């Protein structure tokens, strides 16, 4: 399954709300995933909040180039039930 990210919102440090192009929204906790040189800067809460959707790759990204695959985010996340 190929997924893309349409929107991202920072909820709390290390937690994001991610809306995917299949219409599903999930809350994703990345607190246990920030390992390695490229992800170390994301431990700074202010830096973590600078997450955006890269319109070319259609996934989340930070100013230092750190990113996560949409499929990984989808598997890790917990679906947010939308109120009708």
Residues 52 and 16 sit within 8 Å (Cβ to Cβ)? no
CA gap 26, 30 in Å, rounded: 12
Q: Which domains does the chain have, with CATH numbers?
A: 5-79 (3.30.2020.10)
The stretches of the chain forming alpha helices (DSSP H) are: 45-48, 70-76
**Residue pLDDT, tens place only, 15-62:** 999 999 999 999 999 999 999 999 999 999 999 999 999 999 999 999
Share of the chain above pLDDT 70, in %: 96
| pTM of the entire predicted model | 0.92
Residue of higher predicted confidence among 75 and 83: 75
């Amino acid at each position: 399954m190929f997924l893309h990210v349409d929107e991202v919102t920072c909820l709390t440090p290390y937690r994001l709300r991610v809306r995917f192009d299949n219409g599903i929204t999930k809350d994703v906790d990345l607190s246990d995933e920030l390992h390695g040189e490229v992800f170390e800067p994301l431990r700074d809460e202010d830096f973590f909040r600078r997450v955006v959707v890269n319109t070319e790759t259609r996934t989340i990204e930070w100013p230092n180039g750190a990113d996560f695959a949409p499929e990984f985010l989808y598997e890790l996340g917990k679906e947010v039930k939308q109120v009708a």
